[in-house]
């Protein structure tokens, strides 16, 4: 951690305020996840105990660590990524921009999801997680964006610098979870829609449904769970995609599958699951991500939330190996397990 110019405590990472007690008092007339102190996860979700000492040790480890050795085929390169976009033409497609950021094209609409394209996932660089793999495309090489979708307010998903750098913000609609409209509007976006879990928004040819996730929110030590976190169903008349955001595994995915499946493609998180405390995390393991795919009846799984930042204690390139092994064991074919390179584009049919 570090002191700000005014002496105040500044959070240096997306996960500095993940701990805390579970909210227990439901707002009158509201669903279970709305409480008098903010939002909470579904019943039976993991809880966290605040451990300031462990967090300080984690920050110190971040500052002193060497960057991971990145396999040569992990990052496509900006020129190759640009060429891949051109080669795929105007059809439906998916581009992995690294970490949890995607460019999804459906019905001619370019949909930017959780765009973290900066060097640091922190409020005060250089303290906090620094990316060791460049973004698949820099902001100025993105095609014209028609819709932005944000899953929650952590720095590695809601990146102020990337959003501020987007051109034509005044014309781009943005979809966010509850209580995030003010933050996004202050960045210059005029058309911002907040969704609660299970809410639906139709914009042009695109239908977006907010799907419950097991996680938390915060951008400082003082705003824990004041804004909601969510996953999404994103569809046009031909393709239905699932975007998990950040989420741990929960039995509720079986119920969500009965309500919202099937999906043609699913972007599922597979990293940041090994915590120093040993407690169950609000991030899925690779095996749990595959189980989500089965519960939600997803045809193709595209793993995310790995290969860009060191956020926990598993080896950085362990998650995709475990994911592939678990996916094959669960009956997915290799062609349906999309271990993509950063910057890679694949066609959706």
- 171-195: per-residue pLDDT in tens? 999 999 999 999 999 999 999 999 9
Joined together, the tokens standing for residue 319 give 């998650």
Half-sphere exposure at residue 250, Cβ-oriented, CA atoms within 13 angstroms: 23
Q: Is 336 exposed, middle or buried (0-12, 13-18, 19+ CB in 10 A)?
A: middle
Q: What is the pLDDT of residues 97-117, one digit of tens each?
A: 999 999 999 999 999 999 999
Helix-strand-coil split of the chain, %, nearest 5:
20, 25, 55
pLDDT at 226: 96
Name the token pair of 281: 């995390």
Q: Tell me which residue of 96, 78, 73 sits closest to 302, measured CA to CA.
A: 96
Band of pLDDT at residue 27, cut at 50, 70 and 90 = confident
CA–CA gap between residue 203 and residue 232 (Å, rounded): 14
Predicted pLDDT at 66:
72
pLDDT band at 58 (very low <50, low <70, confident <90, very high): low
- The two tokens of residue 64 are 């002193």
pLDDT at 149 exceeding the cut of 90? yes
pLDDT score of 277 more than 80: no
The segment with the largest mean pLDDT, out of 122-126, 216-220, 260-264, is 260-264
Helices (H), the chain: 52-64, 78-87, 160-165, 181-185, 252-260, 286-295, 318-329
CATH 3.30.465.10 given to domain 78-347: no
Residue 262: cis peptide before it, omega within 30 degrees of 0: yes
Considering only 125-129, 130-134, 146-150, 154-158, which range has the smallest mean pLDDT?
A: 125-129
Q: Which of 65-74, 141-150, 307-316 has the highest mean pLDDT?
A: 141-150
- Given a cut of 50, whether residue 132 has pLDDT beyond it is yes
In the sheet with 93-98, reading across from the earlier edge strand, the strands are 192-195, 174-177, 147-149, 109-113, 101-106, 93-98, 345-347
> What is the pLDDT, as a whole number, of residue 273?
93
Average pLDDT over all residues of the chain: 89
**Where do the structural domains in the chain lie, given as residue ranges?**
78-347
pLDDT at residue 295 tops 70:
yes
pLDDT of residue 189: 98
User: In angstroms, rounded to a whole number, what is the distance separating the alpha carbons of residues 21 and 217?
Assistant: 13
**Could you tell me what percent of the chain has a pLDDT over 90?**
77
Mean pLDDT to the nearest integer, 276-300:
89
Strand, coil or helix: what is 261? coil
d(CA 40, CA 229) in angstroms, rounded, equals 9
Cα within 13 Å of Cα(53), Cβ side: 1
> How high is the pLDDT of residue 49?
56
């Amino acid at each position: 951690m570090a002191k700000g110019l005014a002496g105040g405590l500044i959070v240096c990472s997306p996960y500095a305020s993940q701990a805390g007690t579970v909210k227990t008092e439901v707002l009158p007339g509201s669903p279970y996840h709305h409480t008098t102190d903010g939002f909470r996860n579904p019943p039976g979700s993991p809880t966290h105990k605040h451990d300031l000492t462990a967090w300080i040790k984690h920050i110190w480890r971040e500052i002193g660590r060497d960057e991971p050795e990145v396999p040569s085929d992990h990052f496509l390169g900006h020129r190759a990524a640009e060429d891949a976009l051109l080669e795929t033409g105007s059809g439906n497609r998916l581009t992995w921009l690294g970490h949890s950021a995607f460019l999804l094209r459906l019905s001619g609409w370019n949909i930017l999801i959780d765009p973290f394209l900066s060097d640091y996932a922190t409020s005060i660089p250089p303290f906090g997680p620094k990316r060791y793999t460049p973004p698949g495309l820099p902001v100025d090489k993105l095609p014209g964006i028609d819709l932005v979708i944000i899953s929650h307010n952590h720095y590695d998903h809601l990146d102020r610098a990337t959003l501020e750098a987007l051109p034509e913000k005044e014309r781009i609609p943005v979809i966010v979870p509850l209580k995030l409209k003010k933050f996004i509007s202050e960045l210059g976006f005029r058309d911002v829609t907040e969704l609660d879990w299970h809410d639906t928004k139709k914009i042009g040819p695109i239908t977006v449904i907010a799907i419950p996730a097991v996680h938390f929110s915060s951008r400082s030590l003082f705003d824990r769970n004041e804004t909601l976190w969510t996953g999404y169903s994103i569809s046009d008349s031909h393709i239905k995609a699932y975007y998990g955001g950040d989420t741990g595994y929960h039995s509720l995915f079986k119920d969500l599958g009965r309500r919202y499946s099937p999906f043609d493609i699913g972007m599922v998180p597979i990293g940041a699951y090994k915590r120093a405390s040993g407690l169950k995390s609000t991030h899925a393991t690779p095996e749990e991500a595959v189980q989500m795919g089965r519960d939600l009846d997803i045809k193709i799984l595209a793993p995310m939330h790995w290969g860009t930042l060191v956020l926990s204690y598993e080896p950085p390139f362990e998650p995709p190996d475990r994911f592939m092994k678990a996916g094959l064991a669960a009956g997915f074919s290799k062609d349906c397990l999309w271990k993509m390179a950063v910057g890679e584009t694949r066609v959706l049919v």
